[in-house]
Amino acid sequence: MKGRLGDASRALFRRPLARADAVANRLYGWRYNPLYQSGTLAVLGFVVMLATGLYLLLFYRIGGPYESMVRLEGQVWAGRWIRALHRYAADLAVAAAGLHALRMFLQHRSWGPRTLAWVSGLVLLFGTFVCGWTGYVMLWDEQALVLAVEGARLMDALPIFSEPQARAFVGERPIPSAFFFLNLFLHIALPVGLALVLWIHVSRLARPVLLPPRGLLWGSLAALVVVSLLVPAPLGPKAEPLSVPGTVELDVFYAFWLPASRVLAPATAWLLFLGFAGLLTLVPWWTRPPRGQRPAPSASSERLCTGCLQCSLDCPYGAISMLELAGELARRVAQVDPRLCVSCGICTASCAPMAVGPPLETGRDELARARAFANQRRPAALDVVLLACRRGAGRLAERDTVDGALVHPVTCAGHLHTSVIEFLLRSGAGGVLVASCPPRDCWGREGPKWLQERLHHGREAELRESVDRRRLGVVYAGEGERRVVLQALAELRRTIEALEQEPAEERVEVELECERPRAEAS
Amino acid sequence: MRVLAAAAVALGLALALALCSRLPFAVETRDDARIRLSWRALPERIEECREPSAEELAKLPPHMRRPRICEGRTLPFLLQVTLDGETRLDARIQPAGVRGERPAYVFRELRVAPGEHRLTVRFAAQPDGPAPQGLRAPLVLEETVRLAPGSVLLVTYDPDTDRLRIRTSG
């Protein structure tokens, strides 16, 4: 029931997001696709907020908050657009964080050992909302008054204050400076606390990436600066408690709740908020698969492990450590911590002896499946075998053949052992095309990166040098990018056809060159 | 061409972000005016004392036998607002706190048509029976007020003069 609830809610968003990913990939390429960088863009927004906030702090006066904002707006060269940049960076942080949470939810990356990241991410998001609320109230314009009054009305519903807080804003007496001091204090102190929560958020990652790649970083920053110059952040008329507010300009990223909250009784608003917050907090519980269907964590074989360290280096979650065995056969063996392992299977492809991996997903299991595939499908010299990642690759893993290519689905291209590729080529296939998710969108974080390293850069468990790289292709394609895979397939097929048409003598010569020393030796 | 399209989309998204940051929202209509009542009042405490009978005293342990037993309680307030002779508010206001010993807070807002009105506000402790001696006189405000559309008239309590008074903007 719980798993089905998660699947049903995912089905709503997964396809539209896959389409959006495909469009963004066409425009920016997978490396700079902002939809793949939602987490790092949120951090970028946070960093810009901090930098611009320090500048704005120099001009803010708790004795005359609105007046200091008006003075700042008068600084055409710096103040006005820096305030706008501060605001739009705050909006970017919330929008990107929301998208990041949605992605993690859709990709089943929100339960098990990732629960800590999910819950701390929600704390980050909620903290950012509160920080934003204090920031808007600090301006003390009409929007600030509306937010302050509504916030106080909601707080008054809680049995914690002896005096109704909303009375502070009725116009009976001037708003005390202490109120603005408290706001300013919270506005500065909260980000410090959020930085700590961010550290917790990424603490289970071996190599957390906090900022987007340089091109996207500067591009996003440039877009924000241009918009800050073109569209200054609004500053409404000064808050006047003895006047009906009328129409104000609201920031939907931070005040989206206001229209609903104003028409609801405070108790109902609180119940709705707590219900929604509870639903989000319990996502790790209600989206995890039923007990029997949860992927098991990786395990290492003490018999096969050579203690080479590679799996512990490759694991994106720091779940593998090396255990020193005592006694006569003292050596190191890999040990997987099941509390940290997310069953991504990246370790499967880490070592030549295939000693680590989730049950039934080790390199040996992959090789056995490839053997069965080759026996059944019997690939010929002009055939291409498409090793399609089940999570992306234009959803081609669901098919038997694509455009004449034989499809062999793999759980994740990131834990594809190089021996599988070598075996398929040796079993007669003309070529192998690996269709993987784009690197920044890998469900196991670093799968495509390590795959490339193993295929082309000699990373441990590398593809043997004797394997002809011309017959091998790797293409990055998301769920909605079938076209990209088909293009790569056509290109590889052309290469193979060209290779097959090469004069046989030339090939014989090369083979003879290889065979000669052996023949001489014998 | 693709670079231009990518830059245009990025700018478009940033512009959408900026526009979402300033969406107009009608908080309230400014066609009418408001009368806001806001003040804090200390509750009236009344004590009822009696002399216990000899039997009652005999039932109590010696250290608890007192010649007079007094039971105190606070009175709720009655807030009445009439506008041009029409009762707009008639509410009982309980002092705060579990035992009702903390101050009572008046915090109400009435929507009224703009223009000139005769406003009467009466705020008094409300005993259950006949008024006990020493009860404070009710706070009464009677004024003719002129309200502009979108304006707020605040009725509050001035502790220096012990009277209700009116505040408006400007």
Residue among A304, A245, A436 at smallest CA distance from B28 = A245
CB A316 within 8 A of CB A445: yes
Interface test with B, best of A243, A251, A256, A261 (most B CBs within 10 A): A243
CA B106 to chain centroid, in Å, comes to 1
Our CA-based measurement puts residue A95 at a distance from the nearest CA of chain B, in whole angstroms, of 9
DSSP character string of A196-226: HHHHHHTTT-SS---S--HHHHHHHHHHHHH
> Chain B contacts of A250, Cβ < 8 Å?
22-25
DSSP character string of A176-194: PHHHHHHHHHHHHHHHHHH
The structure's pTM equals 0.87
B112 interface with A at CB cutoff 8 Å: no
Whether residue B105 and residue A164 make contact (CB cut-off 8 A), yes or no, is yes
State how far the Cα of A228 lies from the Cα of A85, in Å rounded to an integer.
5
Interface predicted TM-score (ipTM): 0.84
Please check the confidence at residue A498 and state whether its pLDDT lies above 60: yes
SS (H, E, C) A310-378: HHHHHCCCCCEEEEEECCCCCEEEEEECCCCCCCCCHHHHCCCCCCEECCCCCHHHHHHHHHHHHHHHC
DSSP at B12 = H
CB A397 within 8 A of CB A388: yes
CA B137 to chain centroid, in Å, comes to 18
> b or e along A445-475 (b: 16 or more beta carbons within 10 Å of the residue's beta carbon)?
bbbbbbbbbbbeeebbbebeeebeeebbbbb
For chain A, the average pLDDT equals 90
User: Tell me: the pLDDT tens digits for A387-421?
Assistant: 999 888 888 998 999 988 999 999 888 889 999 99
* Dihedral sign computed on CA atoms, order A406, A409, A414, A415: negative
Burial of A440 (0-12, 13-18, 19+ CB in 10 A): buried
Q: Which of A289-293, A423-427, A452-456 has the lowest mean pLDDT?
A: A289-293
Average pLDDT score over residue span A107-115:
91
CB A474 within 8 A of CB A451: yes
CB B133 within 8 A of CB B58: no
pLDDT of residue A522: 47
B105 interface with A at CB cutoff 8 Å: yes
In the block, tokens 């959006």 appear at A20
* Dihedral sign computed on CA atoms, order A162, A166, A172, A178: positive
CA B111 to chain centroid, in Å, comes to 15
> Chain B contacts of A251, Cβ < 8 Å?
20-23
Whether residue A240 and residue B22 make contact (CB cut-off 8 A), yes or no, is no
User: Tell me: the pLDDT tens digits for A135-183?
Assistant: 999 999 999 999 999 999 999 998 888 788 888 898 888 888 899 999 9
CB A91 within 8 A of CB A136: no
Our CA-based measurement puts residue B84 at a distance from the nearest CA of chain A, in whole angstroms, of 22
DSSP at B69 = E
Whether residue A243 and residue B152 make contact (CB cut-off 8 A), yes or no, is yes
pLDDT in tens, chain B (170 residues): 888 999 999 999 999 999 999 999 998 888 899 999 999 998 888 888 889 999 989 999 989 888 888 888 888 999 999 999 999 999 999 888 888 888 999 999 999 999 999 999 999 988 777 666 777 888 999 999 999 999 999 999 998 999 999 988 76
What are the CA-CA distances from residue A142 to residues A115, A145, A246, B76, B86 (Å)?
Answer: 40, 5, 9, 36, 33
- Token reading at A269: 């608003």
> Chain B contacts of A227, Cβ < 8 Å?
11, 14-15, 17-18
Interface test with A, best of B21, B39, B112 (most A CBs within 10 A): B21
